[in-house]
Amino acid sequence: MKKTFNKSEIIFKEGSRGNCAYIIDSGRVAISALGPSGENRILATLGKNEVFGEMGIIDNQPRTATAVAMENCLLTVIRKKTIDYLLDVDPQSLKPVLKVLSQRLRETTRLLDPL
């Protein structure tokens, strides 16, 4: 399913429940989270073919960040039930999602490394 978002439109909010992930077909999306003192911190700027929102549909936890369209966007919506189906029927098809998760974990580890 495809969905459009206008510039500055909130795609999802930090703390909300995630029932889908997104692939950016066109446009850019800012991913942000509240810092320790309540300030809004930009964590990433994503563009075409990038995936976001996948963590909430995998672990059923509230979203850890807010996603906002930086410009008009066209997104492919991937529903949780689709991911669950693929896990049962064709787990190999989820390798790209696992690769994204691995890259993000690696980047987070690098940022936390005191060296």
Please check whether residue 57 is in contact with residue 21, taking contact to mean a CB–CB distance below 8 angstroms: yes
pLDDT tens track for 68-100:
999 999 999 999 898 888 888 988 888 887 887
Domains of the chain: 2-112 (2.60.120.10)
User: Which positions ≥6 away from 79 have C-beta within 8 Å?
Assistant: 1, 19, 20, 57
- Give the position of tokens 């206008």: 6
pTM > 0.75: yes or no? yes
Phi, psi of 5 (to 5 degrees): -130, 135
58 and 6 Cβ atoms separated by less than 8 Å: no
Query: Are the beta carbons of 96 and 104 closer than 8 angstroms?
Result: no
